[in-house]
Amino acid sequence: MNGLLRPVLVIVWKDLLLELRSKDLVVSVLVFGLLVVLVFNFALNNAPGRSEELAPGILWAAFAFAAVMAMNRAFVRDQEQGGLEGLLISPVSRDAIFLGKALTSLVFMLLVEAALLPVYAVMLNFSALSFNLVLTIFLGTLGFAVVGTLFSAMAVQTRSRELMLPVLFFPVVLPVIIASVEASTRAVGGETFIGLGRWLPLIGVFDAVFLVICPWIFAFVVEE
Amino acid sequence: MTTLIGEAVQVRQLEKSFGEWPVLWDLDLSVPWGQTLVLFGANGAGKTTLLRILATHVRPDHGSVAVAGHNLRARPDAVRRRIGVVGHRSLLYDDLTCQENLVYYSRLFGLKDHKPRVDEVLEKVKLGDRAGHLVRTLSNGMQKRAAIARAILHQPDVLLMDEPETGLDRESVAILDELLAEWTASGRSVVMTTHDLDLGLSWGHRAGVLRGGKVHFPGTDSHGGKDENGDGAIRQAVTAALEAGR
């Protein structure tokens, strides 16, 4: 386990250091996320009493688009500067490379979501102080990160990566989006953990299945 | 240095095509320990492809390849641990300093107590005073030297270098010259490609020309060393290969 964990953490450390220095990913995704919720807020009739109905949908639409934006950049720097090749000729397993990149994406997205959630709560008039909501966001984002990392590795090798990633990504993560919206609606409505029903386990199963499948496929994706 | 088994590089009946386009076919090659093999050839002859296969970055279609005694298909991780690669790109991150890049790679290679080793290799390529500089602020030649530092960081047994002299000034070539001599003197091996005939012939214990998907060794005696007319024969063969293209 230590043999897998160490390189994963090294990759995360490197990506966080690069992001701290450039700040281009977090800032652009953050601004994008704010713009999305701002547009939705004015475009939809968010009258009192309707927020519980609308807020989760808007929340996850913003998170999903922000995830695509973040994922589009996940491998770009590595591809452009040869870092991916450097990783591939190092004695680090492909699983560790995948998990390192996925963990980095998860951390970036959770940071952005943590910053956006209070703003969304104020603008869309719902309470963000809900353990069930936070758990749903964490599990949904994990699904985005795992699937998005795989498709980002595929898309970065194509010329039209900005188009390719959402085309591949959205059909696969659709169950996560549906389940996350359903679970969030119940969480915002004040339901207990049991009250979230089958939606949270569904996201958990999705995450677990793709955490096994994606690293395996990734090894073939990066092979020349 | 780890125990050196068999030959540094052993390639048998290697074939590689990209789509319908064959690049290497029925290629045999062996590099003994303590030697530098220099490969010449026209653009598109497959020099880089061969090095990328040896570096485990490209999967061969057919044939067996062993580097540092480890089969490429069976134990790619063991091979990666024992090779150092200098390619056309530095494989360094522009927004990290030289030192941060090398610390990153030493952690990937699991080096213990990496700080002195990082300082040592930076001094070796005369970049000690640039350790804290971002890679993007270095000249091309300095980035190449930093890439060489990255490649030798984990003390690999086999160095794979793709046109390492490109972009290097005279002082940097002298650094590389010293490094290659030190490398082979310690029993380790180097496989490199170059377009610079004079430098290649001065660096290589053996020189081959990649043409028609195979490596030819003109001017080589029956023991694999250079014969009396070795350099002249190589020059002729390289000129012929360049004129003929692939």
Q: Are the beta carbons of B54 and B39 closer than 8 angstroms?
A: no
Nearest-by-CA chain A residue for B56: A89
Contact in structure between B151 and B92 (CB atoms under 8 Å): no
SS3 call for B96: coil
A10, A77, A91: residue with CB nearest B104: A10
State the sign of the Cα–Cα–Cα–Cα dihedral B113, A85, A216, A157: positive
Q: How far is CA B175 from CA A209, B120, B169, B180, in A?
A: 51, 14, 10, 9
Mean pLDDT, consecutive 10-residue segments, chain B of 246 residues?
76 91 90 93 90 93 93 92 93 94 95 92 93 93 94 95 89 91 93 90 90 81 58 73 67
- Return the number of CB contacts < 8 Å for A and B: 69
- Contact state of A89 with B55 under an 8 Å Cβ cutoff: yes
- Count CA atoms within 13 Å of residue A50 on its CB side: 8
Q: What is the pLDDT of residue B102?
A: 96
Question: Within a 10 A sphere around the Cβ of A49, how many other Cβ atoms?
Answer: 8
Cα separation, B75 vs A118, in Å, equals 50
Q: How far is B125 from chain A (nearest CA, A)?
A: 19
Question: What distance lies between CA A39 and its chain's CA centroid?
Answer: 21
Better-scored residue on pLDDT, A78 or B159: B159
| pLDDT for the residue B44 | 86
Question: How far is Cα B204 from Cα B200, in angstroms, rounded to an integer?
Answer: 6
Whether the predicted interface score ipTM is above 0.95: no
* Residue B137 to residue B141: CA distance in whole angstroms: 12
Which residues in chain A have their CB less than 8 angstroms from residue B94's CB? Answer: 81
Q: Is B132 on the interface with A (CB under 8 A)?
A: no
Range of the domain at A54: 2-221
Supply the pLDDT for residue B65: 94
Predicted confidence at residue A123, as pLDDT, reads 85
Please answer yes or no on whether A21 and B57 come within 8 Å at the CB atom: no
Q: Is the pLDDT of residue A47 over 80?
A: no
Query: What pLDDT, on a 0 to 100 scale, did the predictor assign at position B225?
Result: 57
Our count of domains for chain A comes to 1
Question: Could B57 and A77 be called an inter-chain contact, meaning their C-beta atoms sit closer than 8 Å?
Answer: no
B109 to chain A, closest Cα gap in Å: 6
**How would you write B101-138 as a 3-class SS string?**
HHHHHHHHCCCCCHHHHHHHHHHHCCCHHHCCCEHHHC
Contacts of B108 in chain A (CB under 8 A): 7, 10, 87, 90-92
- Nearest residue, CB atoms, B56 vs list A17, A77, A89: A89
Inter-chain touch A89–B81, beta carbons under 8 Å: no
- Rounded CA-CA distance A180/B99 in Å is 43
Q: Are B98 and B122 in contact (CB under 8 A)?
A: yes
Tell if the CB–CB gap between A93 and B105 is shorter than 8 Å: no
